[in-house]
Amino acid sequence: MLSRVADSIYWMSRYVERAENVARIVDVNLNILLDSTMADQQWQPLVNITGDHEDFAKRYQVANQHTVLQFLTFDRDNPNSILSCLRSARENARSVREIISSEMWLQLNQFYLTVKAAAESGRGLDSPHEFFTNVKLSSHLFTGLTDATMTHGEGWHFSRLGRKLERADKTSRILDVKYFILLRSVADVGTPFDDVQWAAVLRSSSAFEMYRKRHGRIAPKLIVEFLLLDSEFPRAIRYCLNAARDSFHAISGTPIGTYRKPAEKLLGQLCSDLAYATIDDVMGEGLHEYLDTLQSKMNLVSLGIHERFFAKRVPETRHSSMEKMQ
């Protein structure tokens, strides 16, 4: 597969997943606010966890519901807004239209046009919950079409690799929302409102019901364990990284447990770490610190994937090119 094509498929999936997760992060905060009795609404943490707070500060005076929703949803100048993510996803898809299935293209094109129309109408966020639910569903539909209509070959594995890495990163950030909010409201710890917040974190990852089946009661430590270390829940970080690792190996042809390139090694190590970590270790280190380290490592994996598969190369001699072909 052409390196440029692999690159586009990988980022197409990542951007769709990113758009979905921005919707999730915003939605969880809206849900928390509905149950909140505090006059002081917390919107700044949302900008912080996306990592784009500097960009935000340049163009917006205050962080309130209106500005943050605008920034994260329809702001064309924020490359990680839902609209920008979908525009990038669609641009990538457009450059590989002949590789992906036409169903995937139709759905993604429609998805983008719908959000674009909402942005242009000026009334796109009149019922925010409905809007964000639609974003999530459209993303699921795209993922489902990818699984159901595209050959599960190299291209599909690149798509899955991108999606799972993005999801692992974003689940870690959703867990962090709770951290940032806690910082601001230590007095709430252990109160019914705290439970409400934790339940909202679960809901934002579509994990509430699955978690209840597994653990029953709402306990912060168990929730963190579920979203971080569970090997069966599809939005849990460990599950995502395992799937990313499987796809990486399917592409490179290296057996799992061995490696040829740094990115493959690092990803394998991450999976092992999560397999043997206990929740007490994590909390002992500090959840925020743990997640921060995890995010930097995942970024390194991402860079390594670029190096290994997408970067431009120059053939040295015929001999070496033939070797590479084999």
Partner 1 sequence: MKLSNYEVGNFFDEMFGEDGRPRVAARPLAKKIESLPMGELFNRQQAADRALVQAGITFNVYGESEGVEKTLPFDLVPRIVPSAEWDRIERGLKQRIRALNMFIDDLYHDQRIIKDGAVPDHIVSTSKGLRAPCIGLNPPRGIWCHITGTDLVRHSDGEIYVLEDNLRCPSGVSYVLENRRLMKSLFPEVFEASRIRPVSNYPIRLRDMLEYLAPEGVTTPRVVVLTPGVFNSAYFEHSFLAQQMGVELVEGGDLVVSDGYVWMNTTNGFERVDVIYRRIDDDFLDPETFRADSMLGVPGLMKVYQAGNVALANAPGSGVADDKVVYAYVPRIIKYYLGEDIILPNVPTYICAEPADFKYVLEHLPELVVKAANESGGYGMLIGPHSTAAQREEFARRITANPRNYIAQPTLSLSRVPTLVDGHLEGRHVDLRPYILYGKDIFVLPGGLTRVALKKGSLVVNSSQGGGTKDTWVLADSPATLAADEMVPGAAQNQGQSQSQSQSQFQTETPSATQVAGASA
The residues of the shown chain that bind partner 1, judged by CB under 8 A, are: 1-6, 91, 94-95, 97-99, 102-103, 105-106, 109-110, 113, 154, 251, 309-310, 312-315, 317-318, 321, 323-325
**Which two tokens mark 202?**
């679960």
How far CA 105 is from CA of 32, 114, 135, 145, in Å, comes to 35, 14, 16, 10
Q: How far is the CB of 136 from partner 1 (least distance, A)?
A: 21
Q: How far is the CB of 73 from partner 1 (least distance, A)?
A: 18
Q: Using the minimum distance from each CB to partner 1, give the nearer residue, 154 or 188.
A: 154
Q: How far is the CB of 180 from partner 1 (least distance, A)?
A: 35
Location of structure tokens 């995890």: 294
Q: Using the minimum distance from each CB to partner 1, give the nearer residue, 115 or 274.
A: 115
Q: How far is the CB of 285 from partner 1 (least distance, A)?
A: 36
Q: Using the minimum distance from each CB to partner 1, give the nearer residue, 103 or 195.
A: 103
> CA quadruple 244, 250, 256, 259: dihedral positive or negative?
negative
Q: Using the minimum distance from each CB to partner 1, give the nearer residue, 30 or 150.
A: 150
Query: Residue 287, Cα to own-chain centre: how many angstroms?
Result: 18
Q: How far is the CB of 253 from partner 1 (least distance, A)?
A: 9
Neighbouring residues of 278: CB distance < 8 A, sequence distance ≥ 6: none
Instruction: Compute the distance between CA of residue 144 and CA of residue 150 in angstroms, rounded to an integer.
Output: 10
Q: Give yes or no for a contact between 82 and 72, defined as CB atoms under 8 angstroms apart.
A: yes
Q: Using the minimum distance from each CB to partner 1, give the nearer residue, 232 or 307.
A: 307
Instruction: Compute the distance between CA of residue 66 and CA of residue 124 in angstroms, rounded to an integer.
Output: 12
Q: How far is the CB of 7 from partner 1 (least distance, A)?
A: 9
Q: Using the minimum distance from each CB to partner 1, give the nearer residue, 118 or 177.
A: 118
Q: Using the minimum distance from each CB to partner 1, give the nearer residue, 14 or 170.
A: 14
What are the CB-based long-range contacts (under 8 Å, 24+) for 142-146?
Answer: 142/16, 142/104, 142/107, 142/108, 142/111, 143/16, 143/17, 145/101, 145/103, 145/104, 145/107, 146/13, 146/100, 146/104
Position 250: which residue type? Answer: A
Q: Using the minimum distance from each CB to partner 1, give the nearer residue, 191 or 321.
A: 321
How far CA 95 is from CA of 11, 12, 88, 90, 142, in Å, comes to 11, 10, 11, 9, 17
Q: How far is the CB of 121 from partner 1 (least distance, A)?
A: 15
Q: How far is the CB of 81 from partner 1 (least distance, A)?
A: 16
